[in-house]
Structure 1
Amino acid sequence: MRLHRLDITAFGPFGASQSVDFDDLSAAGLFLLHGPTGAGKTSVLDAVCYALYGSVPGARQGSGQGMTLRSDHAAPGTRTEVRLELTVAGRRLEITRQPPWERLKLRGKGTTVDKAQTWLREYDPATRAWKDLSRSHQEIGEEITQLLGMSREQFCQVVLLPQGDFARFLRADAEARGKLLGRLFDTRRFAEVEKRLAERRRATEAQVREGDAALLADAHRMQQAAGDAMELPELAPGEPGLAEAVLEAAAVARATARELLTIADRRLTAAEAARAATGRELADARELDRLQSRFAEARERAARLAERSDAHRAALERMERARKAEAVAPALELRDAADSEHRRTADAEARARALLPQALADAGAAPLAAAARRATEELGGLESARRAERRLAALVEERAGLDRQERADEEVRQEAETWLADWETVRTGLQSRVDSAQEAATRAEQLAVQRDPARRRLTAARQRDRLTDDTEAARQRALAAAEDAVEARAHWLDLKEQRLHGIAAELAANLTDGTPCAVCGATQHPAPARKTAGHVDREAEERALTAYQTADELRAQAERHLGTVREALAAATAEAGDAPTAQLAEEAEELEGAYTRARATASGLHAAQEELRRAEGEREQRVAAQQQAAVRSASRVAGRDRLEREQAALEEELARARGNAESVTARAAQLERRAALLTDAADTARAAEDTARRLKDADARLADAAFRAGFDTPADAAAALLDDTAHRELQRRLDAWQSEDAAVRAVLAEPDTADAARRPPADLTAAERAAADADRRLREASSARDAADRCRAELDRLSAHAATSVRRLAPLREEHTRVARLASLAAGTSADNERRMRLESYVLAARLEQVAAAATARLLRMSSGRYTLVHSDDRSGRGRSGLGLHVVDAWTGRERDTATLSGGETFFASLALALGLADVVTDEAGGVRLDTLFIDEGFGSLDDQTLDEVLDVLDALRERDRSVGIVSHVPDLRRRIHAQLEVVKGRSGSVLRQRSTG
């Protein structure tokens, strides 16, 4: 990948359009990107990353990125844009990206947001022209990622080499290294394998436990079926041997159940035989008791029949008289019917005459009928007057309706006049509210534009004040750490010098007669040196060295923290200016208060406009209602005159028709009642006369029928009659007596019954008691046998189910054992994994070993052959192994942790590590050639000799037409590197100045 040209507009600190010609800068192979702190050196690299991936590196990305990438110095009408021209995989491409942009609306007020846009073009050497490839964000992102073969994180590590990240990588623990390497080499699939294995282990373990729990549940059910005679294994689900123990206990329970069933069968057979014998004895006793009871009952029934013989003869005589009286019954019924009818008509006639006037109370049927006809004729003559009366009532209601309408229209006119009198005042007030709300909305839009810059300046001022105190505190801590480091180094050197002076005594302590001296080779040691007071041994020197190294690391950390705080302070000061924080807070608060008040006032605009529209609509409705009421009032005058004339004519006609009654309807009601009463009285009088004649005829026929039937009077015949119920009851009593007499005679004549009566009384209670005892013993034996059979059947069923479950769980147990071993091995918790190294850590360890080997090739040259980076997979304490990184010092021959390197040593070690990581990631990405690299900061910690060595290594990267860009503000590099890209900051934004070797 080679960069050719970069165009930036309104991006980061660059307010205007800026261009970078990488072809010109790369001609020398090594170029410098420099400028003061906060000018925008890193923003140039951000623009390259944003053009390729649509986002910026590391912590500088965030939500609302399109807004944060835009320069605060850009003109309102200038849109943010980044255009990058590069060659990758033999293709020359041009990528243009525009982030989302909030701009003023072309029409109306307020702002709108334009969506992000992206273009991808390719240069065609044949036509020497650019052709469009795509305008889709997704398609362009996939195309660039596929061509580069790297994700954004990998690109930021191998092309934009951030030295600070690799310095932290050198001092980090295994977990932090694993996170960085995992992002770069994408080992998520190995972590996913660990996760899948762990999930599979948990799943199979849950299945095994579930199967064992079901097996234990079957065992508990077998124990319940066996009556707690079965002993359960004291094993939990998942423990080995549970299945065998359950099956063994089940076999014992089944054998016991079969033995109990055999015993129950034998007891049931004996109980059935005893029950049959007692049953026969009970049947004989019951038969004897039945025959004896039957004979005694027959004797008692015969005695009762003899007592009722007189009543039986009287019943026979009563039945004979009733049969004679039945011949007179029709005449009696006819006479009773005629008498009832005559009494009914006579009562009706008396009630009807009681309602007549006194003059007609004694009149016959004919005069009453004639009077009824006269009343009916008079009633027919009133029909016309009744219609006139109904019309008069309708006229009165109609005039009342007109009066109500007149009053309603008058109220409408009065209300409309009252409301319209205040219309101008109401309209003026509502229009004033609308105008005030519109002015407040305009003022709120103006204040909104001023509010956000004031907030940013206030936030920056507060950060500036806080960072000022933090800077002083950091400077004090850095000064104290430097003093502690100087003291620790002086103490270590003093101890080292003392140890060198007393080294002879330390060597003499190991001398033994006969053993050659390690210095002179003599076997005799007549006067070995002795340790003096205050002698310094090797352990004391090493403790002092360790203390010095710790103090020096604390010093380096304090200095780095001080630099970070100073850079943040400079950025906050540039944003806030020199204005006091209190003044900025007051200004921001005033703007916020004014904005809030304006928004509150403007929020009532819609309500005021709606209220004004509603008031105008109501005015139109009231004017229209007033006019309609006047029209309706005028139209009612002619109708009222017509109704008054018709009402007068009808009243005159009705006065003649109703006479002395209150109304024609009342007069008609009187005539209707009179006609009805007269008609009813005439009808009832005729009916009473007819029924009297029929009653006289019935009396004569009844006397004749009674005489022929043999009765002295009709009353005697009536007394001898029986109704159907009495006749049936008397006949039933006669039949029952005859049946009872025959039945008693038959029973007393039976030979078996008479023989049983001569025998002793039967002892039925004893026989029933013996049979009941036999029944109880039989039921108990049968229940015991059924329970034993159910127990045996249930144990057989549960045992078969348990055996099936054991066979089904066997493959699952084997799978769980295998998966558990694999999961433990991959997770680093297995005893077979001696170094407790996870699968992902194992893969990352192999990558780290490649990175260390690639970095060592450059580190040897930068350190003049002194340092070598080596990978270590030793365990650290109780943790897991695999991601250790050590440095081997050729001067001492010792291997130590990379965290013990000094500041300068850490720089070129991290640089070598970054270059080595770039080579490995490049190979991992498919061997894409990286012709342009950037190295960010860190050169200020090098001395002149080390700087020359580092530059030689970087200069060697130019082999095969590769260019390297160094991002630094170290002044000495400006003299050593002639091709430069300078970032100059100012009040109107930063600008780029390019200087090439020519």
Structure 2
Amino acid sequence: MRPVKLIMSAFGSYAGRTEIDFTEIPNGLFLITGDTGAGKTTIFDAITYALYDRTSGGTRDGNMMRSQYADEGTDTYVEYTFIYQKKQYKILRNPEYMRLGKRKYADGSLRYVKETPKVELTLPDGSVFKGKKRETDQKIVEITGLDADQFTQISMIAQGEFLKLLLAESKERKKIFSRIFQTRFYYRIQEELKKQAVQLYVKLEQNLQEMKLEMARTEYPVCEKGKETELSRKWKEVSGQDIPDRDRISEILKEIIGQGSRLEKACKKEADGAQVLLEDKNRLLKEAELLDQLFDSYGQVLSHLKEKTAEKAKYELMKEQIQSGKSAERVRTEEKRYLEEEKRLTELKTQDHSLQKKLQECRQLLQELTEDQKEAVKEKTEKEIVLTEKKVRIQDAILQYESINKKQETLNKLAEEIKKYLNHARIIKEKNEILQNKNEEIIKFLKQHEDTEICINECRNKKQQTEEKMRQYKELDRQENRKEQLKEDCERAKKEAECEQKNYEHAWVEYEMKYQKFLKEQAGILALTLEAGQPCPVCGSREHPQITLLSDEAPTQAEVESAKEERDRKEKTRDIKVAAFRECLAGYQAAQEICQTLQMNIKDAPEDGVKTNWKKIMQNLGQTFAETEEQLKQLEQISEKCKALKKNQEQIAEQSLELERKERETDQCLTESKLVYTKVQAEYQTAKEKLPYETIEEAEKHLVQTVGALEQLRKNYETVTRRLTEMQNKEKELEGRSKTVKASALQSQKEAEKKKLRYEQVMKAQGFADEESYHRKCMKETELEEAERWTEAYQRELQELEANRKLLEQQLKGKERKDIAQIKQEMKEASEVLEQIRREYMRLHNINEKNREIRDNLRRNFEKNSGLQNQYEIIGNLSKTANGNLSGSAKLDFETYIQRQYFRQIIRAANKRLIRMTSGEFILQCRDVEKLGSQGQAGLELDVYHMATDTIRDVKTLSGGESFMAALSMALGLSDIVQNTAGAIHLDTMFIDEGFGSLDDASRDQAIRVLNDLADKDRLVGIISHVNELKEQIDHKLVVKKTDKGSSVSWSV
């Protein structure tokens, strides 16, 4: 990236519009010089702000850069034009600041408005990049290939940045490299491996607990004496192991299941035998109950036969009555036919008498109607002509009235139209007034909320920042809780290790005491074997004046060996606890580093690290977030309302134009309607004076009366004629019916005489002397049917009882009743035995099923455990390696290892220039792995190697001038490595701010030579310094001057 032009307006110490044209310096080294506070660093700030919306040092953001010297009407912005890979780009950016508004308040006072931050990127083809502010910022990073942190480290090195990288602790250097080389990816790999390892370990523990729970569910079947105790002892032994023995568990469980199966089969066989016995008892019970029922049925049959024999006399009498009743029934049929014919003859005679009477009345009325018809014909002929002429005259008059009425209707319609147009004009006027009032209210509302969009952007930025902070604090709180838990685990492991150390020391002292006592007592044991005059096996003396005596407290060799074993066991336990403590400590240190990293990444985080402060901050952030969200919601509602009101304004304007058009149309229609109304009204008055009747209603009334009179004449004539015709037809009908009735009556009389004769003959044939004896023997039909049903039922029941008696006597021949109660008791006892056996069988069956289920579950658990164990060994070792916890290897985590490779490359690139600056006096080197400190805080230490003395010392021991040369070399080396790493990045320009004042003349000359070599024909190197000697050594200078009205710049070539 090569700068072309920089324009600053009301930015920093530059009050007005200040332009710097970098094309004045085609290439090489140039100096930016001026007094302290003149505004040299502000040039760097302007370039960094234009690119990344922040200043070069990072201590000031763009919102703080509004010039205090600028006029209120001057806009604040930075315009930066640069060339990258032979393509020219231009960035125009302004911060958020308060400016003088274009309009004043109602009282004439000045009005200030907030200018929202904006950025505009012009591409090489002259088009403006279309996107929001964040998208534009991202596009700039894509073009340059550097983010703000990388840019300020390698291209624009601000004040203080030199020594930051050189003198930083390993922890701080790790953070710098994490931002520049984006190595957080490797840290996430570490955390992911650690997370997976923990998850696998938890799954292994859960699977182990599941196996123990399954083993605890195992039940032992009741078996022969002693066997159950032996099985349960074996099972409790294997199930109580910390790591279950799969083969041993399977073997014992197989034995338990096999024994249960044998007992289950035996119990099943016993249950089958008991079932057969119960079925036999049940069969005997059913036979006894059936026999008992047969004896009861035989007694009932005999009792019913006795009752039927007593009713035999009644049966014979009932049969005789049925015979007489049937004979009388045959006579009754003929009697009924005779009586029905007599009744029909009577009805025909009555009907003939009625018809003769009606015929006489009809003939009298027919004579009267003939006279009435003659009168009606005469009246119709006389009046019909007069009424018809009157009707024609009235109809002609009505036609004239209809013409007048149409004119009246036209006048009424015209009056309604005039009224309607007047009403429309009034409504249009009212609507227009309402629209104007609405428009004034909208203008007032929009004026009150014209800064809403600015406030919305502020709220959104604030909400986003607050939300990000909340997320960071939440993660920090989670990691802190994890760290506290690890700390407790560390303390507990430490106490256990210290306790085991004391136990080991006690066991060691105990063993040493016993061993020493044992050695001392060897002389006493030897003294027991000495004899007077015999040589001592040790010294050879034959005299033994003072023999060592055995002590009562002397330990035996077995006790000494036991104490030694106890010491060794305590030592082994201590080593295990110490290893556990070291592992906990490593985890705690890693968690502590994570927390420190998170806290460092949180802007404005409290330095005390007190968790209660975080909680309070999180509460405040949550409240701020809620308040901001609510404020944003209200502002967005106002914004939406403003948009809707603006649309309403457009609609109101359209509606106003439409109302004006309608008003003109209404006025024109009103004028036309009034003219037509005047013309029609005159025609109506002229025609009305010529009418014979006052109103059309009166004419219609006379017409109705005339038409009614004509209709009444016609109706009277038609009524008389119709009644005469009807009466003539009725006379003919009555005469025909009378003839028919008389013929039917004569025929009925002959039939009645024949049926009477037949009735008397049948009565004598059935044995009845006269009608009185016949009527005595008559029975009602229902009585006869009831009697027949009773006799038939009696005969049928008697026959069935006799048949049942014979059948039962045959079935019970030679048989006796059995004791049913005794059989039921025996059956009950057999059922209880069977139920008891079944319960035992089900108990054994359930135990066996449960144990088989446990066997299958344990098989799956063991298979699962094997897979999890293999995964845990792989992932666990990877996690320990990546997090620097693997024993026997360097304590470096994965991210530090990667950063160390970058660090070595940076040092090699830096030493190429440092050797020239120091004339080969010393170089920089990365500290060896064997000399590193604790894990998580080491790996990126920097030392100084003196070539002359062959010694190594810490880089912090360098003097001021040496530190500047080393720091400059490191900055240049970092720039080389970042360019090589990023690939497509081309840095054509570098700016260096201060540091040369600490060098002597020779060192400064060496540094300038190095920078001159760096600033070849295609690269610019700018130095900001107030050192006077540099003005003589560098030809091209950008001079910055400070005045009361702000800063100014000029080139000096």
The answer, yes or no, to whether TM exceeds 0.5 is yes
Q: Aligned equivalents of 2:119 and 2:348: distance in 1?
A: 109
1:509-554 residue CA offsets vs partner (Å, 9 max, x unmatched): xxxxxxxxxxxxxxxxxxxxxxxxxxxxxxxxxxxxxxxxxxxxxx
Paired residues of 1:292 and 1:753 also in contact (CA < 8 A): no
Give the counterpart letter for 2:1007 in structure 1.
V
Task: Give the letter aligned to residue 155 of structure 2.
Answer: V
Do structure 1's residue 847 and structure 2's residue 850 form an aligned pair? no
**What is the identity, as a one-letter code, of the residue corresponding to 1:839?**
F
**What amino acid is the match of 1:164?**
G
What does residue range 473-872 of structure 1 map to in structure 2 within 5 Å? 609=653, 612=656, 616=660, 619=663, 645-654=699-708, 701=755, 704-705=758-759, 708=762, 710=766, 713=771, 716=775, 720-722=779-781, 731-750=788-807, 753=810, 755=812, 761-782=817-838, 784-786=840-842, 788-789=844-845, 791-793=847-849, 795-797=851-853, 799-831=855-887, 835=891, 837-852=892-907, 854-855=909-910, 865=921, 870-871=926-927
Partner of 2:17, secondary structure, is coil
1:146-225 aligned within 5 A: 153-169=149-165, 172=168, 174-201=170-197, 204-205=200-201, 208=204
Cα distance, 1:201–1:728 mapped onto 2, change above 3 Å: farther
Counterpart among 251, 263, 271 of residue 268 in structure 1: 271
Residues 40 and 983 in structure 1, CA contact (< 8 A), matched pair in contact too: yes
User: What is the alpha-carbon distance in structure 2 between the residues aligned to residue 423 and residue 805 of structure 1?
Assistant: 88
Rate the CA distance shift 1:440–1:267 in 2: closer, same or farther, 3 A: closer
Q: Does 1:305 align with 2:308?
A: yes
Q: How many residues in Structure 1 have an aligned counterpart in Structure 2?
A: 771
CA contact (8 A) 2:193 2:875 kept: yes
Give the Cα–Cα distance (whole angstroms) in 2 for the partners of residues 783 and 296 of structure 1.
Answer: 46
Structure 1 stretch 275-284 or stretch 607-616: which is displaced more?
Answer: 607-616
Q: Residues 766-821 of structure 1, C-alpha deviation per residue, up to 9 Å, x if partnerless?
A: 32332244245435534543554455345435523542453255223311232122
Q: Is 2:422–2:670's contact at 8 Å kept on the other side of the alignment?
A: no
Distance 1:112 1:133, change over 3 A: closer
Q: 1:259 Cα deviation (Å)?
A: 4.0
Alpha carbons of structure 1 residues 54 and 96: separation in structure 2 relative to 1, 3 Å:
farther
Aligned equivalent of 2:17 = 15
Give CA-to-partner distance per residue, 1:547-566, whole Å, 9 cap, x none: xxxxxxxxxxxxxxxxxxxx
Q: Residues 647, 22 of structure 1: CA spacing in aligned structure 2 closer, same or farther, 3 A cutoff?
A: same
Kept in 2, the 8 Å contact 1:430–1:608? The answer is: no
**Amino acid aligned to 2:793:** A
User: 1:336, 1:215 → 2: CA distance?
Assistant: 109
Matched, 1:296 2:324: no
Quickly say closer, same or farther: Cα 1:245–1:855, change in 2 above 3 A. farther
Partner of 2:82: 84
Q: Are 2:46 and 2:78, in contact at CA under 8 Å, matched by a contact in 1?
A: no
Answer whether contact 1:335 1:695 (CA < 8 A) is retained: no
Residues 363/883 of structure 1: CA separation in 2 closer, same or farther (3 Å cut): farther
SS of the residue corresponding to residue 1012 of structure 2 reads: coil
CA distance in 2, matches of 1:813, 1:344: 120
Structure 2 residue 319 is matched with structure 1 residue 316: yes
Looking at structure 1, the residues matched to 219 and 347 of structure 2 have their Cα atoms a distance apart, in angstroms, of: 92
| Distance in 1 separating the partners of 2:119 and 2:366 | 106
Give, as a single letter, the amino acid of the residue that structure 2 aligns with 1:807.
Answer: E
Corresponding letter in the other structure for 1:994: W
Q: Is the 8 A contact 1:36 1:983 kept in 2?
A: no
Superposed CA deviations along residues 809-843 of structure 1, whole A, max 9, x for unmatched, are: 522331123212212331234555663x3211222
| Counterparts of 1:79 and 1:368, CA distance in 2 | 128
Structure 1 residue 978: Cα displacement: 3.3
Query: What corresponds to 1:506 in structure 2?
Result: none
Q: Partner residue of 2:491?
A: none
After superposing the two structures, state which structure 1 stretch, 71-80 or 317-326, moved more. Answer: 71-80
Are the equivalent residues in 2 in contact too, given 1:39–1:990 (CA < 8 A)? yes
Mean CA deviation greater in 955-964 or 854-863: 854-863
Contact 1:32–1:974 (Cα < 8 Å) also in 2: no
Deviates more, 1:273-282 or 1:880-889: 880-889
Q: Deviations over 1:133-190 (max 9, x none)?
A: 9999999999999998766643442222234234344565544432220222232442
Whether the 8 Å contact between 1:30 and 1:977 is mirrored in structure 2 is: yes
The residue aligned with 1:993 is 1050
* 1:411 positional shift: 7.1
Matched, 1:6 2:14: no
Task: Describe the SS at the equivalent of 1:953.
Answer: helix
Give the superposition deviation at 1:20. Answer: 0.8
User: CA shift at 1:289, angstroms?
Assistant: 1.2
Contact 2:338 2:759 in 1 (8 A): no
**SS across alignment from 1:882:** coil
Cα gap change, 1:301/1:871 in structure 2, threshold over 3 Å: closer, same or farther?
same
Partner of 1:282: 285
Return the letter of the residue paired with 1:167: L
Give the counterpart letter for 2:801 in structure 1. Answer: V
Structure 1 residues 785 and 727: alpha-carbon distance in aligned structure 2, compared to 1, 3 A threshold: farther
In the alignment, structure 1 segments of 5+ residues that lack a partner are 103-109, 122-131, 350-359, 382-387, 456-595
Structure 2 spans left out of the alignment, 5+ residues:
96-112, 223-227, 378-390, 459-638, 689-693
Equivalent position of 1:364 in the other structure: 358
Could you tell me how far 1:301 is from its partner in structure 2? 1.8
> For residues 85-135 of structure 1, what are the alpha-carbon distances to aligned partners after superposition, in whole Å with 9 as ceiling and x for unaligned?
46x6xxxx1322344899xxxxxxx999999454449xxxxxxxxxx9999
Secondary structure of the residue aligned to 2:873 is: helix
Partner of 1:974: 1031
Q: Is the 8 A contact 1:34 1:41 kept in 2?
A: no
C-alpha contact (below 8 Å) 1:94/1:120 kept by paired residues: yes
Residue 309 of structure 1, CA deviation: 2.1
Aligned counterparts of 1:183 and 1:373: Cα–Cα separation in 2? 137
Question: Which amino acid counterpart does residue 894 of structure 2 have in structure 1?
Answer: L
Tell whether the 8 Å contact from 2:278 to 2:827 is kept in structure 1 after alignment. Answer: yes
Q: What is the match of residue 94 of structure 1?
A: 87
Q: One-letter code of the match for 1:766?
A: Q
Cα distance in 1 for partners of 2:342, 2:237 equals 106
Give the superposition deviation at 1:920.
3.6
Q: Distance in 2 between matches of 1:340 and 1:77?
A: 133
Query: Structure 2: how far apart are the matches of 1:869 and 1:413?
Result: 106
Percent identity, aligned pairs only, is 16
Q: What secondary structure sits across from 1:881 in the alignment?
A: coil
What are the residue-to-residue correspondences of 1:49-64 with 2, within 5 Å? 59=58
Contact 2:49-2:56 at 8 Å conserved across structures = yes
Partner residue in 1 for 2:1007: 953
Q: What's 2:625 paired with?
A: none
> CA separation of 1:438/1:878 partners in 2, compared to 1, >3 Å: closer, same or farther?
closer
Which amino acid in the other structure matches residue 84 of structure 1?
F
User: TM-score, structure 2 length as denominator?
Assistant: 0.56
TM-score by length of 1: 0.58
**In terms of mean alpha carbon deviation, does 774-783 or 925-934 score higher?**
925-934
Distance 1:372 1:894 in 2: 162
CA contact (8 A) 1:706 1:717 kept: no
CA distance, structure 2, for counterparts of residue 341 and residue 955 of structure 1? 160
Paired amino acid for 2:900: A
Structure 1 residue identity aligned to 2:310: E
